[in-house]
Amino acid sequence: MANTIATLALALGLIAPSAHALTLTQPPPLAKAIPALPRIAAPATPAIARINTALAKEDASWRAFIKDCRSQAGADFDMERSNQVAMAGPGYFAVTIGYSYDCGGAHPDGGAIALVYDLNTGAPVNWARLLPKSLVDAVSTDSAGDGTTIGLIASKTLQKIYAREALAAGDADFKANCADTVG
């Protein structure tokens, strides 16, 4: 899944392949089982510095979320987060984040998001501007579990591609339990 963003962008001709990658650093974890997001080492441009600032802001949001969740859940507190760099150039920096948490409610929650930044501007990618208009059916925003505002696009074409690839890559258990939902 981590390379899905890069592969799709390459296939759509949105980026060109490159052998050069950014050098990354890994800050200390935010808490047990909560790694910090990686940072781009020695930011050479204001745009890259803006990306690092955005990643630090996301981590600060998680620190506040951890504290709030822990105070609500007490002994039932449980939280995990993972991240993986999906693309470190050319043109874009993308990190995928998977998370789960139990703040003492009726049931645990979780999800996954991808943060994608333009290395030339430092701004989050606006998919509605980047993708061909034929791939974008609707645009909206939503909030992740920690309150991060994320931009969303609805695309029947991309949904079909994702479903096909997810089912092809899934193991037998995934196919048996998730084929109806993914399909």
Residues 19-62: tens digit of each pLDDT? 346 899 999 999 988 999 999 999 989 999 999 999 999 999 99
- For the domain spanning 4-130, the CATH number is 3.30.565
**CA distance linking residue 84 with residue 120, whole number of Å:** 21
List the chain domain ranges. 4-130
Residues 94-148: tens digit of each pLDDT? 999 999 999 987 888 888 889 999 999 999 998 899 899 999 999 988 887 777 7
* Burial track 50-59 (b if 16+ CB lie within 10 A, e otherwise): bbbebbeebb
pLDDT tops 50 at residue 180: yes
Specify the pTM: 0.77
- What's the pLDDT at 14? 53
Which residues make Cβ contacts (< 8 Å) with residue 76, sequence separation at least 6? 102, 104
